[in-house]
Amino acid sequence: MARYSLYLGDCMQWMDERSANSVHAIVTDPPYGLKEYSHEEKTKLRDGHGGVWRIPPSFDGCKRSPLPRFTVLTDSDRARLRGFFAEFAGRAIRVLVPGCHLMIATNPLLSHLVYLPLMEAGFEKRGEIIRLVKTLRGGDRPKNAHGEFADVTVMPRSGWEPWGLFRKPCDGRVQDNLRKWKAGGLRRISQDQPFEDVIRSSPTRPEERRIAPHPSLKPQALMRQLVRAALPLGAGIVLDPFMGGGSTVAAALAVGYDSIGIESDSAFFRIAERAIPKLAEFAAARHPAAKATQRIGKEGPNVTVGLRPPERAAPPALEAR
């Protein structure tokens, strides 16, 4: 049975209280501007105007989701961001078992501010996973001078999202670490196909956004590929310390892995709590291998729901490749 536990609170404090060497992967999408998830900015987002959240223009009659405006960060915001990731990195490396992977969503403007603190805390950089996705970032002409500089774009229109791939150093050789800690590598897509570091991906589908109306919701088709790869032997616990609308936990549930999600905002927490089984089932409808079939109840103060694991033979979530 795949199980998950959700905690409403600060992930830093949660990691401080968690035993060392007790988590087998972290797959997460942190608050990249810090600012955008402050109380003040969330209020502006929920009111629908102002602040760091940019409401992109409608396109073909579709209303777009708000995007945080990372270019407005000041030097001191950047210093705070780096400090935040230093705090995160020190805690993350302690709770992970040796050889475990950490996959962290970022963006091309700010990735260095998280990669360096992770390496300084002792993580090995193992590359980057490139999510090929068309976004509405970049591609604009100079503000208030569109006509004058009609042939100029200030920044490229972004077509990719980097995910930093890090590993806590292994305890000896990879094979020894795999035997002892069940970690050290990434799960293959199949015997013939290794996990690859370029993933074609669509923006999150409107159906998923309706299930989990979080402004930064990641798509199940992507998350299931990442989460599945994160446990090389399919055993262990996946942690998402910045759970948001619950896409990592839902993906873990869909592929049959145990997971833990932490979220500090009570409104987002409630969204995730309701959305996770539905997102897992939504994915299941399109990926029969991960059909979530049985709800077995709740335990303790943290919601803990178990669903029957998928067939191990069929690798899930390949349709987006």
Ligand X SMILES: C[S@@+](CC[C@H](N)C(=O)[O-])C[C@H]1O[C@@H](n2cnc3c(N)ncnc32)[C@H](O)[C@@H]1O
**By the criterion CB under 6 A, which residues form the site for ligand X?**
10-12, 29-31, 37, 214, 216-218, 241-242, 244-245, 247, 262-265, 268
Shortest spacing between CB 270 and ligand X, in angstroms: 12
Burial class (CB in 10 A: 0-12, 13-18, 19+), 187: middle
Cβ proximity to ligand X: between 259 and 264 the closer is 264
Closest approach of ligand X to the CB of residue 9, in Å: 7
Least Å distance between CB 166 and ligand X? 17
The pairing of beta strand 67-68 with beta strand 53-54: antiparallel
Contact 283, 29 (CB under 8 A): no
Helix-helix angle 266-286:220-230, to 10 degrees? 90
| Cα separation values, 36 from 77, 135, 205, Å | 11, 18, 22
CB of 254 to ligand X, least distance (A): 14
Q: Which residues contact 149 (CB under 8 A, 6 or more apart)?
A: 141, 142
Read off the DSSP letter of residue 134.
-
Nearer Cβ to ligand X (10/120) = 10
Q: Please give the residue whose beta carbon sits closest to ligand X in the complex.
A: 244
Closer to ligand X by CB, 30 or 316: give it.
30
Asked if 88 contacts 96 with a C-beta cutoff of 8 angstroms, the reply is no
Task: Write the single-letter amino acid at 167.
Answer: R
Please say which residue, 37 or 181, places its beta carbon nearer to ligand X: 37
* Closest to ligand X by CB, 184 or 261: 261
**Minimum gap (Å) between residue 242 Cβ and ligand X:** 3
